[in-house]
């Protein structure tokens, strides 16, 4: 079990707090809005009304013992920056920041945060990628040039085995799992000698360029 501190309880922060708490983690949340704090209070270890940019407030609620922090202060970029600085002072190792613009992300990166999350942009990229690539079912970006996507099995691959296709050598992608849509099962590390069918889809990982190329297969 890990301890997380959530600064700001808008939709993003509230949802992250709930999911982490549901996962059995120790979640501390702080927001100026007493109503939203009351709604969350029954679901997390501690929810406090207060200023998440204030060092003393963060120290008092136990943020200094957190394994990681998630900052979601809405449109208030100044509050986001001040919260990052306060959490750095408390030696919180990993700090994740929800950002609202490229400029906000650049500032957060300069402050040395672990990762910036831009939900609106990421959702838009995901949708556009899926609409552009007819075989693409799901798309998750994991880094600057590394993603995981679920794609339908191209006609040219049907009846072939993963061993025979040699996708790592020929397409520079790795098959992480197989989704059997007839049974609804996800099969991690599928049998390399299993013959692919039209009802299967593959969860594959690789560089953005490699995934874009393989998603166009027919």
Q: Which residues pair with 122 in a beta bridge?
A: none
Rounded CA-CA distance 46/183 in Å is 41
pLDDT in tens, 74-92: 899 999 999 999 999 999 9
pLDDT in tens, 148-172: 888 888 888 889 999 999 998 998 9
Residue 168: domain span: 122-215
| Percent with pLDDT over 90 in the chain | 58
| Residue 140 and residue 60 share a domain | no
pLDDT of residue 102: 86
pLDDT of residue 82: 97
Across residues 38-47, what is the average pLDDT?
Answer: 95
CB 67 within 8 A of CB 36: no
Number of domains in the chain: 2
| Residue 188 and residue 83 share a domain | no
Rounded CA-CA distance 40/42 in Å is 6
| Residue 145 and residue 89 share a domain | no
Rounded CA-CA distance 162/195 in Å is 7
| Model confidence pTM above 0.85 | no
Query: At which residue do the structure tokens 């849509």 appear?
Result: 181
| Residue 95 and residue 9 share a domain | yes
pLDDT of residue 49: 97
Rounded CA-CA distance 73/119 in Å is 13
């Amino acid at each position: 079990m890990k301890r997380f501190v959530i600064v700001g309880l808008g939709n993003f922060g509230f949802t992250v707090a709930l999911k982490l708490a549901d996962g059995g983690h120790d979640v501390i949340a702080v927001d100026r809005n007493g109503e939203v704090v009351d709604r969350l209070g029954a679901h997390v270890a501690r929810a406090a009304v207060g200023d998440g940019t204030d060092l003393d407030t963060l120290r008092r609620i136990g943020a200094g013992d957190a394994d990681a922090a998630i900052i979601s202060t809405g449109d208030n970029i100044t509050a986001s920056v001040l919260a990052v600085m306060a959490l750095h002072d408390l030696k919180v190792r990993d700090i994740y920041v929800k950002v609202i613009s490229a400029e906000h992300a650049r500032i957060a990166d300069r402050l040395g945060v672990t990762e910036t999350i831009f939900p609106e942009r990421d959702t838009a990229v995901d949708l556009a990628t899926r609409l552009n690539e007819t075989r693409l079912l799901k798309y998750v970006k994991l880094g600057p040039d590394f993603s995981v996507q679920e794609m339908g099995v191209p006609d040219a691959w049907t009846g072939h085995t993963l061993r025979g296709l040699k996708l790592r050598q020929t397409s520079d992608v790795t098959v992480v799992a197989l989704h059997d849509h007839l049974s609804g099962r996800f099969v991690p590390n599928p049998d390399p000698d299993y013959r692919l069918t039209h009802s299967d889809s593959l969860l594959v990982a690789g560089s953005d360029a490699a995934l874009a190329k393989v998603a166009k297969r027919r």
